[in-house]
């Protein structure tokens, strides 16, 4: 079975990821849990599939480096494919994406998060663990701008995950290393392209972080993602990436240009069979800026706790909003495109389970039929009808 058929099978099952390795069963992640969906893949077959996927130009680079990232579209299903080598041979991790990006509502995010892209120039950091939906949230914020404002948007991604269509804005998507050799070079080039909004797929190195801060200081709104478990940890990772002697200036630069930090994780709601994002949001209030400048990043959680009137969200505060939400947007797993449906739900806080309908009172027992007669009170299926006919036939013979 070729890779494209594995992807379509994963989409039919509603999987978010596929994991394939030579000589081991094909595994899909469905609602956060791993399930075996096919037998082991022969090493030779997977080697051929990987070579066809990368092509003759990228294959030698994969052999030298031992890993590669590509984007792929299979029958309308867009994917991010990571190829790497293990002790058993070649392995693939495939993230299944929708064809196009959706807005905040369709991604089950709070509508007030759009304030992150409604402010002036500065830096917005989208953070969270691996697989927590950072790229989806990033694309939703881009779509919020695209729907209402005429802006020039430049995205730098490795690889490109969501495809955007120009609505009100003009979006230029660049892939690393296809369209530029590195994030560092792409950021320098993007600043010459007159962007209103610059999107950086991930801040990984100190140099990328330095260039990102510089771009946010020069009159651009910059959206960037990084891995972290909380807003405080995201800020700490940025500062600690630099030598100790310049961390003070980095904190000052970060405090001056920061718009906000959004950290998220995915919660599974078993009552609705949905994985939805739960968020923590830090906005650049005077208290937040002062705390960052002073290097008291461990106090960021207290700043968020006391910043509810400023629009900040703690994990618990956001959880209470989720419990009061009256509708969810559920993706259609069998559809290869971005179609979604609205699911109206009824909760019983705090368990967030739909209320069970009350059972109708039991009907009083019917009077027993006279001896020798057969009473039929409800529709019978084919098996019951056959049994009834047999009983009538036996009774007729006995007479």
The residue among 228, 221, 37, 53 whose CA lies nearest residue 144 is: 221
281-338 pLDDT per residue, tens? 999 999 999 999 999 999 999 999 999 999 999 999 999 999 888 788 876 543 434 3
Judge whether residue 28 has pLDDT over 80: yes
Specify burial of residue 115 (Cβ count, 10 A radius: 0-12, 13-18, 19+): middle
The radius of gyration computed from the CA coordinates of the chain, to the nearest angstrom, equals: 28
pLDDT at 374: 42
Q: CA 378 to CA 388: how far, in whole Å?
A: 13
Q: Which of 115-119, 175-179, 208-212 has the lowest mean pLDDT?
A: 175-179
pLDDT, position 307? 92
Assign 130 a pLDDT band (cuts: 50, 70, 90).
Answer: confident
For 303, other C-beta atoms within 10 Å of its C-beta total 23
Partners of 223 in the beta sheet?
Answer: 124, 199
pLDDT band at 392 (very low <50, low <70, confident <90, very high): low
Q: Tokens 């009538």 map to which residue?
A: 392
Could you tell me which of 79, 140, 135 has the C-alpha nearest to residue 107?
A: 140
Instruction: Label residue 228 by pLDDT band (50, 70, 90).
Output: very high
Taking the CA atoms of 4, 142, 171 and 214 in sequence, report the sign of the dihedral they define: negative
Q: Which residues make Cβ contacts (< 8 Å) with residue 254, sequence separation at least 6?
A: 123, 213, 235, 238, 239, 292
Q: Give the integer Cα–Cα distance in Å for 132 and 123.
A: 20
Instruction: Give the predicted TM-score (pTM) of the model.
Output: 0.74
Torsions phi, psi for 208 (to 5 deg): -65, -40
**Residue 43: both structure tokens together:** 């090493």
- The percentage of residues in the chain with a pLDDT greater than 70, rounded to a whole number, is 81
Instruction: Determine contact, residues 37/10, Cβ cutoff 8 Å.
Output: yes
Residues 6+ apart with CB under 8 A from 80: 69, 70, 71, 72, 94, 95, 97, 159, 161
User: For the chain, what is the HEC assignment?
Assistant: CCHHHHHHHHHHCCCCEEEEEECCEEEEEECCEEEEEEEEECHHHHHHHHHHHHHHHHHHHHHHHCEEEEEEEECCEEEEEEEEEECCEEEEEEEEECCECCCCCCCCCCHHHHHHHCCCCEEEEEEECCCCCHHHHHHHHHHHHHHHCCCEEEEEECCCCCECCCCCCEEEEEECCCCCCCHHHHHHHHCCCCCCEEEECCCCCHHHHHHHHHHHHCCCEEEEEEECCCHHHHHHHHHHCCCHHHHHHHHHHHHHHEEEEEEEEEEEECCCCEEEEEEEEEECCHHHHHHHHCCCHHHHHHHHHCCHHHCCECHHHHHHHHHCCCEEEEECCCCCCCCEEEEECCCCCCCCCCCCCCCCCCCCCCCCCCCCCCCCCCCCCHHHHHHHHHHHHHHHHHC
Per residue in 61-84, pLDDT tens? 899 989 988 888 776 777 888 999
The CA distance from 24 to 62, in Å, is 21
4-13, 61-70, 175-184, 343-352: least confidently modelled range:
343-352
Segment 249-261 mean pLDDT: 95
In this prediction, residue 388 carries a pLDDT of: 62
Q: pLDDT confidence of 102, banded at 50, 70, 90?
A: confident
pLDDT at site 1: 61
Select from 247, 229, 230, 184 the least CA-distant residue to 238: 247
Task: Tell me: pLDDT of 173 over 90.
Answer: yes
Domains of the chain: residue spans and CATH: 3-97 (3.30.450.90), 111-329 (3.40.50.300)
Phi (first) and psi of residue 116, to 5 degrees: -65, -30
The pLDDT, as a whole number, for residue 360 is: 45
pLDDT tens-digit readout, 333-381: 434 343 333 343 434 333 444 444 444 444 444 444 444 444 444 444 5
């Amino acid at each position: 079975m070729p890779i494209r058929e594995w992807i379509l099978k994963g989409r039919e099952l509603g999987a978010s990821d596929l994991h394939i390795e030579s000589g081991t069963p094909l595994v899909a992640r469905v609602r956060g849990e791993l399930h075996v969906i096919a037998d082991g893949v022969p090493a030779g077959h997977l080697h051929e599939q990987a070579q066809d996927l990368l092509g003759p130009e990228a294959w030698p680079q994969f052999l030298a480096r031992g890993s590669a990232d590509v984007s792929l579209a299979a029958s309308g299903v867009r994917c991010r494919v990571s190829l790497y080598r293990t002790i058993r041979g070649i392995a693939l991790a495939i993230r299944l994406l929708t064809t196009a990006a959706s807005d905040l509502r369709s991604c089950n995010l709070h509508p007030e998060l759009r304030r992150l892209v409604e402010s002036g120039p500065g830096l917005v950091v989208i953070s969270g663990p691996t697989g927590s939906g950072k790229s989806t949230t990033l694309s939703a914020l881009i779509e919020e701008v695209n729907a209402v404002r005429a802006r020039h948007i430049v995205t730098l991604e490795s690889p490109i995950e969501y495809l955007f269509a120009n609505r009100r804005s003009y979006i230029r998507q660049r892939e690393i290393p296809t369209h530029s050799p590195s994030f560092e070079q792409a950021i320098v080039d993007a600043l010459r392209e007159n962007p209103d909004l610059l999107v950086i797929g991930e801040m990984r190195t100190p140099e990328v972080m330095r260039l990102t801060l510089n771009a946010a200081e020069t009159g651009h709104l910059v959206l960037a993602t990084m891995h972290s478990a909380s807003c405080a940890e995201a800020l700490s990772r940025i500062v600690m990436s630099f030598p100790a002697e310049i961390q003070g200036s980095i904190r000052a630069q970060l405090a001056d240009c920061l718009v906000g930090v959004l950290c998220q994780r995915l919660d599974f709601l078993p009552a609705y069979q949905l994985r939805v994002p739960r968020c923590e949001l830090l906005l650049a209030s005077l208290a937040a800026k002062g705390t960052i400048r002073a290097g008291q990043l461990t106090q960021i959680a207290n700043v968020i706790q006391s910043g509810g009137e400023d629009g900040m969200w703690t994990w618990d505060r956001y959880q209470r909003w989720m419990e009061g939400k009256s509708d969810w947007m559920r993706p259609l797993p069998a559809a290869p495109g971005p179609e979604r449906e609205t699911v109206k739900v009824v909760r019983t806080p705090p368990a967030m389970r739909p209320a069970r309908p009350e059972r109708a009172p039991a009907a009083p027992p019917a009077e027993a039929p006279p001896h020798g007669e057969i009473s039929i009170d409800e529709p019978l299926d084919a098996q019951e009808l056959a049994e009834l006919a047999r009983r009538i036939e036996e009774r007729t013979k006995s007479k």
